[in-house]
Amino acid sequence: MTTLVKGTCLLNEPMARHTSYGIGGPAAAYVRPANREDLISVLDFAAENQVPIHIAGSGSNLLVADSGVDGIIVALNKTFTRLEFDGNRVYAEAGVILDHLVRMTIKRNLSGLENLIGIPGTLGGALIMNAGAFGSEISDHLLKVHLINIQGQEKTIPAENLTFGYRSSSFQPDEIIVAAEFKLVSGSPADLKQKQERAGSGRKSSQPLRFRSAGSVFKNPRPDLAAGYLIDKTGLKGTRVGDAEISTKHANFFINRGHATANDVVQLIKLTQAKVFEKFNIKLELEIKTLGFEPGTFRS
């Protein structure tokens, strides 16, 4: 396996090294393909040997089981990082860090993505989740997406042939985003700076940025009803299991205070779902992605 790719291939690699939580057991193989040809080689190997493939970006929205993950983790965040501008058009590979992309558009006085500044993770993950903030979503100015499916076939899909919703998209599990193109609009430098500062200060004041986390754990049940509000009203802020804690600053952030395990976080998730359902008759759905857990682990 290690001789198959031109990029990086690490065997039995602890996923705690590759997630913002700092949590997770070993992946059988952790691969950073050097380019598209390298990625297709990995996909061909996995298909021929019936090995599961899991796609990860920077691990900013991911909880990995303490027991680890069978199969191959493919990460694009260090190699698929090409970013090009042509007037108000932007071409960005899936491994580009979203915050970097936003800052580069602001630097060129291009408007459309500035409300997303500070959101962690890669462009690929942001598109799959349709990341958004302050009334904007990553899909708002999308032109097209370049994909490779599990069979190694490349295709380009116009934005109008995709469906986006709240923290959701129509991308299929067997599709790997490798790049995307956007068409932005010219913006006022003063207006862009104001939006940038508002988004940045809003996160600093409301989110526990000093601690390791995976961002919002649950989706908001409705646009006008925040998961954090419901968790707060159950009185769970500050609740701890091991070294995992429901943040006292933002109830929808579960933080790692140092040595939390995935099981610690799972127990907090289950407790929160149970308490919110008991009080409000609302089932909270996970926004974070999970890997390596037994089926039914998160069924409430």
Q: Is the pLDDT of residue 153 over 70?
A: yes
Q: What is the pLDDT of residue 1?
A: 63
Residue 113, amino acid? L
Q: Which of 167, 203, 212, 240 is catalytic?
A: 167
pLDDT of 59 > 80? The answer is yes
From 58, 111, 216, 247, the catalytic residue:
216
**What is the C-alpha separation between 122 and 78, in angstroms, rounded?**
10
Residue 243: the pLDDT is 98
Q: Where are the beta strands (DSSP E) in 18-94?
A: 26-32, 53-56, 62-64, 69-75, 83-86, 89-93
pLDDT, tens digit (0-9, with 9 covering 90-100), for 65-105:
999 999 999 999 999 999 999 999 999 999 999 999 999 99
Assigned token pair, 181: 């193109």
Instruction: Indicate the DSSP class of residue 15.
Output: G
The least confident of 35-44, 169-178, 188-197, 245-254 is 188-197
- Averaged pLDDT score across all residues of the chain: 93
Q: Which two tokens stand for residue 61?
A: 């929205």
List the domains of the chain with CATH numbers.
Answer: 8-75 (3.30.43.10), 83-205 (3.30.465.10), 208-291 (3.90.78.10)
pLDDT at 300: 57
In the set 13, 114, 175, 287, the catalytic residue is 287
* Residue 37: predicted pLDDT: 94
For strand 8-14 and strand 110-111, is the pairing parallel, antiparallel, or unpaired? unpaired
Higher pLDDT, 81 or 134: 81
Share of the chain above pLDDT 70, in %: 99
- 216 catalytic, yes or no? yes
Task: Give catalytic status of residue 299 as yes or no.
Answer: no
209 has pLDDT over 90? no
Identify the pLDDT of residue 48: 93
pTM metric for this prediction: 0.91
Distance (Å, whole) CA 204 – CA 210: 10
Catalytic (active site) residue 137: no
Q: Which amino acid is at 188?
A: S
Q: Average of pLDDT values for 152-158? A: 95
